[in-house]
Structure 1
Amino acid sequence: MKRSIYLMMALSATLVLAISCKPKQSAYKQVYEAAKEREMQQAASQPTVVKDAGTLPPVEVSVRKEKVEPVLASDAANLKNFSVVIASLSVKLNAESLKTRMQNEGYSVILAENEQGMYRVIVASYDDKASAAAKRDEIYQKYSALGNTDYLRRTYGVPFNDLWILERQY
């Protein structure tokens, strides 16, 4: 009997110690927020790096063939055979948000959905591959001159280093 009482007391003491030594979520949150604030201050204090657009390596013409349909019926007439895709997103809300940001930049953006449910954010669409490739290179040059991929991702939501051409299949 005495032995079981001692065993229960030892178990209770161990349990109390284990519970009291548990780290608090608020302590982690404070450290995380302080680190995030320091990171934001460092990012704000660093100057924006502007690269000379003439020194960029040539970009390979990447063409992918897919069957896509415009999300909005009003975009159907503007979706041609070759399109410049800046992002491929699985969440429609994210695609619509990027569409709005790029429309504010002056692009006529088309959202198209493929058979797998991915949303392609298209900034230009042409009847021929050469025009689409030229526009893709123009966009790449423009945004590469603004800064590195981290800056572009923070500012626009995409790094602009993986632009590609979509060849529409029917």
Structure 2
Amino acid sequence: MKKYMVLCAGLCVALAFSSCKSSESAYKKAYEKAKAQETQTAAQGPISTETPVVTPLETTPATQTTMVDNVDNATVRTEDVTVVSGAGLQNYSVVVGSFSLKANAEGLQNTLKNAGYDAQIAYNSARNMYRVVASTFADKSSAVQSRNQFRAGNYPDAWLLFKK
């Protein structure tokens, strides 16, 4: 029984090695076919050459336009927050940091206060996050301008918060 197993395994190995070999005639046929296509396209020559039509470029003087930012398109998050540290929030606030640890939020608040901002900390109990508010406003347009100033400075991830 053992002899038959060894004999069958040897036969399988021999078939595997003999069937995996690529033949030279297959490569030669593919090469000849490619050469025939190449000579056929060369014999046809260029299909057609059309002269491109060029229209003259009209130059207009540059005018200066002022880009007006549409305040209505600014995204605002609405959250129910309570003030932990600070004077109180108005309707729209600019948030520059969110932390799960109060100590980290207090560190950023101190940094902002040293820079001259009236920074506050608000707590969102639903998400268990402390929001560091750099500035707060009654109207949306002032809040958007302030947010854009913070984004241009050291806080590119500043966002707007609408207090419920």
The answer to whether the 8 Å contact 1:81/1:168 transfers is yes
C-alpha distance in 2 between matches for 1:134 and 1:161:
14
1:166 matched to 2:161: yes
SS at match of 1:71: strand
Partner of 2:87: 75
Deviation at 1:141, TM superposition (A): 1.9
Q: Which has the larger radius of gyration?
A: 2
- Which amino acid in the other structure matches residue 167 of structure 1? F
C-alpha distance in 1 between matches for 2:135 and 2:109:
12
- Flag structure 2 segments of 5+ consecutive residues without an equivalent: 1-68
Aligned partner (choices 89, 94, 109) of residue 99 of structure 1: 109
Identity percentage of aligned residues: 37
Deviation at 1:62, TM superposition (A): 2.7
C-alpha distance in 1 between matches for 2:141 and 2:74:
10
SS at match of 1:80: coil
1:123 matched to 2:118: no
C-alpha distance in 2 between matches for 1:112 and 1:133:
19
- Which amino acid in the other structure matches residue 84 of structure 2? V
Cα deviation, 1:60-112, whole Å, max 9, x if unaligned, reads 7331000001003x522xx1010000011100000001100111111100100
- Flag structure 1 segments of 5+ consecutive residues without an equivalent: 1-57, 144-159
The answer to whether the 8 Å contact 1:61/1:164 transfers is no
Aligned partner (choices 122, 143, 160) of residue 132 of structure 1: 143
- Structure number with higher relative contact order (C-alpha < 8 Å, ≥ 6 residues apart): 1
The answer to whether the 8 Å contact 2:150/2:156 transfers is no
Partner of 2:79: 66
**TM-score under structure 2 length normalisation:** 0.53
| Paired positions, count | 93
Question: Which runs of 4 or more aligned residues in structure 1 lie more than 6 Å from their structure 2 counterparts after TM superposition?
Answer: none
**TM-score under structure 1 length normalisation:** 0.51
Cα deviation, 1:101-133, whole Å, max 9, x if unaligned, reads 111111100100012221000000001111100
